[in-house]
Amino acid sequence: MQRTGGFFFKKCIDRINTQLLVSKAKPASIVSSRTHIKSNTDPRYFTLVQHAKSRFLDEQRRSGILSHKIEVNRARLHFETTGDGPNIILLLPGALGSSRTDFEKQLTDFNKSDYTLIAFDPRGYGKSIPPNRTWPLEFLQRDADDAFELIRKLNIHKLSILGWSDGAITGMIMAARHPDIVNKLVIWGGNAYVTEKDIEAYRGLKDIWKWSEKMRSPFMTLYGEEYFQKTWEEWVEAIEKYFTKRNGDICKDDLKNIKCKTLIIHGLKDPLVGLEHPDYLHHNIPGSRLYIMPEGKHNLHIRYHREFNFMVEHFLKET
């Protein structure tokens, strides 16, 4: 899983960081009300901008996680990077998910000398707002196209994918459509189709106030109640369209085209994705492996992050 074009990848990231710093260092945010600067040609302006840039970089370096934005398919998408290893991993979040709500323990705990991690917020999610989320019939296919275009713009020619829930679907679609760039695929909580039973489970969670406080809180903080409730309801309705307009098929035909080594992880106690789904994926993705985590639920990579990270890093290091 050697990184190809690594130097140019770093140059792309440096360029994006510079653009981000300039956008962050606006006069209104760095000049006190007692400082009178007539225009950005004033030498004091450039001094203040440099101080703002330095503070912003210091904050990012302390966390080891860098934040970026890039234009992708007419949307401005947010992504984060960490690590400087030769093996690139793309992290794909679940429904309404973002890099931090979904992958905090992977971004902080993976071996930074072995891996470079890239976690992106799909359009309308996380910090990739605006635009607000929209729902074409094949919205998950659109997310896969966006993820691929992001990687292309960063001049990355080989990587592995970690995808959770909707991100697992996005990852499968991307691996099937672009087998030449995907070295390994790790998916959990995903499905290639939806059943009537699945739809009933999603409808039962349509009201966010029926969620546990622990599950609801990160999304309330990220989006606020109005956007969170509206967008979640729209997600449920969009998934229902796969059931009503595509006979439940999300990406079944793509599975046979996945050529990379694939690890499927599933929580035996997952209340949203039944055991039939990982079984189906295992039997239809050539050469895939299936591991059942006995105590795992839908968010197994969060609750059991140490076991999950160890297993995934071991799989990624295999030759």
Report the alpha-carbon distance of residue 54 to residue 58 in Å, rounded: 6
Instruction: Look up 270 and say whether it is catalytic.
Output: yes
Catalytic residue among 160, 165, 198, 277: 165
Task: Please list the residues that pair with 100 across neighbouring strands.
Answer: none
Catalytic residue among 266, 277, 298, 301: 298
The helix (run of H) or strand (run of E) holding residue 306 is helix 305-317
Locate 65 and state its tokens.
């996680």
- Residue 121 in contact with residue 77, Cβ under 8 Å? yes
The residues, any chain, with a CB within 8 Å of residue 69's CB and separated by 6 or more, are 16, 19, 20, 23, 76, 77, 78, 79, 127
The residues, any chain, with a CB within 8 Å of residue 126's CB and separated by 6 or more, are 78, 93, 97, 98, 99, 100, 101, 222
Report the alpha-carbon distance of residue 62 to residue 304 in Å, rounded: 25
Catalytic residue among 121, 270, 277, 301: 270
Report the alpha-carbon distance of residue 181 to residue 159 in Å, rounded: 6
- Which positions are catalytic? 165, 270, 298
